[in-house]
Amino acid sequence: MSQFFKRLRCLLGRHSPARRLVRYDGHLKIGPCKYCGVQLEKRADGRWVIRPQQGAGKRDTVVQED
């Protein structure tokens, strides 16, 4: 049941990064959400947000699962 609420947080845009998988991409900290797996990046204000799509390119399409 608690898992449901964690996923509900994702639906509300409050993702939680899987800290073991967080890495640096240039100056950005990035990592997948530990609940839904979406790629996140940490903004300057400290919030984790879904990474914007990188146009039509196929870079960095690797998906890691916990």
- Please tell me whether residue 18 binds Zn ion under the rule CB under 5 A: no
Nearest to 17 by CA among 57, 64, 52: 64
Question: Contact letters (x/-) for Zn ion, 33-52, by CB under 5 A?
Answer: x-xx----------------
Helix or strand holding residue 1 (H, E)? none
Decide whether 40 or 55 has the Cβ nearer to Zn ion: 40
Decide whether 60 or 66 has the Cβ nearer to Zn ion: 66
- Scanning the structure block, which residue is given the tokens 């196929």? 58
Nearest to 15 by CA among 34, 1, 43, 30: 34
Binding site for Zn ion (CB under 5 A): 10, 15, 33, 35-36
